[in-house]
Copies of this chain bind each other. A is one copy, B any other.
């Protein structure tokens, strides 16, 4: 079967268009060729984009799927006029009914990122990334009380990627601490984190999966052995249960899912 092409066309970064289009495309058993066309923000670029789309239509012998979040009306006019693809206008489709509902016109402002560098939200997000990096892997206890979240778990249980996602996507300041033999012997979580139980989450993972992950880093080490992984996970979970903190497993859950659960939990605690 000849392949079809999917285009993601935006007058901004196109990240929204691509995220959304990929989510929709997973609903179908197809693997289209994907072409990103970001920053299509004037008529000239619109014509260029159109040529690429129509070229693909001829080569594929099938209408390309054109997912667009373009707000600029001149650009949309060009795309609409001679497009030989199937135009999926992800913004326009909802803008008109929303204008009606809200009783106001939309402003056709381009992209959610324009001038964003001056916004408080952006500034806080960058701060969260810096904070999270400085507080990765128990590097420092300084300003620990300023954390929004503190994660504990054995080495390679997913603490660092989850922390960074919380910071980058949600703007949360995340600290994380590895659980090590010293903690297991002391039979309690690292002393520095104990006063912050409301923000504490334990990450755990199936020992078999952990052993696989560790073998990729240090093949045939004691560190990676199934026996050692079973020991560490068992002891770590015992510490978490004793402290009464929520335990989340990264075995089958992505960092997006774990991060979302954590944020939901924090919001519920704040609302109470």
Contacts and interface: CB of A to CB of B under 8 A. Distances in A.
Contact of A164 (B38, B115, B168, B263): B168
Interface string A1-45: 000100000001111100110111011111000001011000000
A104 B28 contact: yes
A97 B88 CA distance: 9
A86 B101 contact: yes
A107 B69 contact: no
A136 B65 CA distance: 38
A14 B111 CA distance: 20
A115 B254 CA distance: 8
Nearest to A21: B94
Contact of A27 (B15, B71, B264): B71
Interface residues of A, number: 72
Nearest to A89: B94
A126 interface: yes
A187 B160 CA distance: 36
A160 B27 contact: no
A29 B107 contact: yes
A209 to B, nearest CB: 9
Interface in A243-272: 250-257, 259-261, 263-264, 267
B250 A102 contact: no
A142 B36 CA distance: 32
A269 to B, nearest CB: 15
A16 B19 contact: yes
A194 interface: no
A120 interface: no
User: A13, A97, A133 — which one has the most chain B CB atoms within 10 A of its CB?
Assistant: A13
A39 B254 CA distance: 14
A162 to B, nearest CB: 10
B117 A38 contact: no
A223 interface: no
Contact of A168 (B13, B136, B168): B168
Given A63-B101, A126-B161, A133-B133, 9 more contacts: A15-B169, A16-B23, A24-B95, A28-B104, A29-B104, A86-B101, A122-B254, A130-B160, A168-B168
Nearest 6 pairs of A and B residues by beta carbon: A27-B106, A13-B260, A23-B112, A113-B254, A16-B23, A116-B254
25 contacts: A13-B257, A15-B19, A16-B19, A16-B23, A19-B20, A22-B112, A27-B91, A27-B108, A28-B99, A28-B102, A28-B106, A36-B264, A63-B101, A86-B97, A88-B94, A88-B97, A93-B93, A117-B253, A126-B161, A126-B255, A129-B161, A133-B164, A164-B164, A164-B168, A168-B169
